[in-house]
Structure 1
């Protein structure tokens, strides 16, 4: 087990931070974490719109105001919707594909499962490029590739076409999960991430549920090939927007002589005041006065802010050799199996994803048959209940996640623990199995379609807080290694979905559809209740494995002082 390069106070393991300054008169103030630097190009730099209480001289020429952060995140959200739509819209075209090209439902289910398997490995090959060249080129090039895959899908003729478009779209589509968490860690503070990750999960659900709805009506009115032509058009529009509006969020905050700077080649030595201020800003435990001073460091205007065209450079080439970057192809697995928190959150996220994807394949293979005999548009309409459920879950849990964290931190003398977010997941746990039971038993017994539809909505409400909490827990606890952690999470998540989808048909043939979903619901319940273990022992595990965390954080290409 790697040892920590510095002693770690068990009371302050990685992830434990002060985010409430209780020393101020009146209402307590939020402490920014991670700590923004004095570089105007730092995406985490505070802005007057976010923190109007700051003196005006400290908010002049802010280079990353809140609207700019949110614009970048909005573009990323559009990317997520389109990628998930490309993967999941295919299910409503299965009926016409079966009639026109003779593809069996078993083959179509296997093609979907092959895509889920490809999602496992896509991040392993592509994320190192995001670490080496930045987020922007990966978003741009992957959008262009997905546009081409959509055109290929529109011209599909053979089984080879079917398998390749599914596999290739999912290899590239794996970036929709990994890159987003990297972007969130780049741009948002700890007290903003719960809401941000909930919004991200909500947009994922739009791609998974509403894309089949739109695809069903397109299939009926224009034919199944036009589903893919519309995907090509929308990806093309997204490509243009990304090229001209999406800015690079990767920022090198590595310190020189204790002072974070943007340009490592800057030869100007820091003065005594800078060194003292930097030492203050990088201390692990601060008094309230020190916290206030660190939060109000002014920008260093000797560092030039990037121009519009510099912000839109196609790539940012890290000086780290690619041989070092390549280590991130296998490092996620080392992290995954050495840090229990990463593995468990991957397990939670994977099971919750399966709770969304497995019913989608069930709908397309069961409800097209008697007694339902649903057409493409009707199958698409079954995406409305999970969309409504997810929206309700997001509206309720998004603001609650951050507000509960801030409230619990205030009761804890202003100290935030990542485990505080897991209480919300526990509260909504019963909804997941209840919805799965209604869906599976309802379909098995041929009940009115309202029962399985209601079950989908109920389970979706419960899936949101669990998924959002898992992602946010990872980002809060393991910020410095979030890229590798999320690659490992993506591998586990999609492996679980692949296993369940491949096993779905033989499992149902063996025990029946009802018992499959009863078992599935019980498995999800056991996994979600595991959050209780981390609520009570998560901090102890973070403290014991701080050495492992620091070992891998030092291997990251770009780091931010904590």
Structure 2
């Protein structure tokens, strides 16, 4: 249920971020906003996405995931009402920036929840589901938005989004439980996924370990002949659950916040530490670039659609522009069905062949197989639009691109979660920052670049850049483990920082 609400939250955040493009044509006619201004509002939102997580994630580390999910959803709902009542450039730019600023939480919070709840062998599948949800949020809303614009007007696009966000807000308030917690292994307190934990009383810790050991010894069943199961097989251990410990009540589970014992002034260091982590660990920087470039594929194509296909020879209206979101959705869905289970199966298969030892780099083989589909789709899309071919060719290109993007993005997120579990919050804030910086740069420059070089050469060059980035997975398959070994002391430094 928790992951269901998290997925709905992520879906609605990406609906808010991506449904706007389908309203550009009617908005241009009613309010006189030019396509350059509208494109700049989208790019400004990408810039706001880059810094939103840096400033807001410390609140999730201090007060828990639940209050931040609820706060974010409530703010997004109010901003959508503002956009529905838009009358000026101010009403366009400020809500667009604020929607993205608060929406930046989605990408990091969801991965923090995945790290809180799921085991290593489940994360490939779960992250693929998450990326599929993101794809639904980026590709299908323009379809619905196009029909809403046609039947009810472009303002009702935002009213419906506000209604759906309000519905999710009610569900989060009454059903979503907090997932932030401090793990205890053999009585020893271990940091949570934020990488922050309070100081531990060593004397009490040793006493707790002794008590736990005594309980386990008392609870161990014996085999015939007096030998315990543990003696027969030292890999097994028995645990006795203390049934006298009361379960939390419904209202305790739904407390608005769960405060971490770490002083908030110490948690604030996570405003700048993600950038330090980003440029300290090559794997985090590279996966940020991979995730950023695949996301840019979607943002560049959707903004190109909204500005090019409304002109001759296509003359598409809001409805037709929205329907162009179906091909990438089909490609992403087919790829998600394949790559999630395949990634987890391959990780287990290679771990068995490696003597039972799992290495995060084992996941990176899958995206290499899918890599050629991304540039092929970009070439079909750009060259097809430039030559005014039938809309089926660019549509098929979008489907191919979506088919190839999922394994690369899902593997990048899962690789980080597996490699840097205890600093995953800092790592993902850095990834979100880099991803949105890349998106912002390309959204700002792609229009003048196209005007100067043409659609064909822009998409050919962009496709080659994407190919080089995705093929760099080979470098980490070969050298990723040795890089992690060399930087293990830095990882432990950030993971075990108690910030006294």
TM-score, normalised to structure 2, is 0.92
Question: CA 1:271–1:112 in 2, change beyond 3 Å: closer, same or farther?
Answer: closer
* Aligned residue among 112, 118, 123 for 1:193: 123
Q: 2:99 aligned with 1:169, yes or no?
A: yes
C-alpha distance in 2, partners of 1:74/1:390? Answer: 19
- Within a 5 Å distance, the mapping from 1:349-388 to structure 2 comes to 349-388=291-330
- Within a 5 Å distance, the mapping from 1:215-226 to structure 2 comes to 215-226=145-156
Is the contact between residue 191 and residue 496 of structure 2 (CA under 8 Å) also seen in structure 1? no
1:384-432 superposed Cα distances (whole Å, 9 cap, x missing partner): 0000000001001011111111111111111110000000011100001
* Aligned residue among 199, 206, 212 for 1:274: 212
**Residue 85 (structure 2) aligns with:** 155
Question: CA 1:290–1:549 in 2, change beyond 3 Å: closer, same or farther?
Answer: farther
C-alpha distance in 2, partners of 1:540/1:237? Answer: 48
C-alpha distance in 2, partners of 1:241/1:179? Answer: 17
1:418-475 superposed Cα distances (whole Å, 9 cap, x missing partner): 0000000111000010000000000011100000000000010100000000000000
- Within a 5 Å distance, the mapping from 1:412-423 to structure 2 comes to 412-423=354-365
Is the contact between residue 153 and residue 165 of structure 1 (CA under 8 Å) also seen in structure 2? yes
Number of equivalenced pairs:
478
- Within a 5 Å distance, the mapping from 1:24-423 to structure 2 comes to 71-253=1-183, 258=188, 269-270=207-208, 272=210, 274-275=212-213, 291-293=235-237, 297-301=239-243, 303-423=245-365
Is the contact between residue 131 and residue 557 of structure 1 (CA under 8 Å) also seen in structure 2? no
**Residue 502 (structure 1) aligns with:** 444
Structure number having the greater helix percentage: 2
Aligned-pair Cα RMSD in Å? 2.3
Question: CA 1:157–1:520 in 2, change beyond 3 Å: closer, same or farther?
Answer: same
C-alpha distance in 2, partners of 1:258/1:141? Answer: 33
> Once the 2 structures are TM-superposed, how far is the Cα of residue 556 of structure 1 from its aligned partner?
6.5
**Residue 530 (structure 1) aligns with:** 472
Is the contact between residue 481 and residue 556 of structure 1 (CA under 8 Å) also seen in structure 2? no
C-alpha distance in 2, partners of 1:534/1:288? Answer: 41
Question: CA 1:261–1:372 in 2, change beyond 3 Å: closer, same or farther?
Answer: closer
* Aligned residue among 404, 415, 430 for 1:473: 415
**Runs of at least 5 residues in structure 2 that lack an aligned partner in the other structure:** 193-197, 217-230
> Once the 2 structures are TM-superposed, how far is the Cα of residue 299 of structure 1 from its aligned partner?
3.7
> Once the 2 structures are TM-superposed, how far is the Cα of residue 307 of structure 1 from its aligned partner?
1.4
**Residue 282 (structure 1) aligns with:** none
Is the contact between residue 293 and residue 439 of structure 2 (CA under 8 Å) also seen in structure 1? yes
C-alpha distance in 1, partners of 2:388/2:23? Answer: 23
Q: 2:364 aligned with 1:427, yes or no?
A: no
C-alpha distance in 1, partners of 2:38/2:234? Answer: 60
Secondary structure, counterpart of 1:415 in structure 2: coil
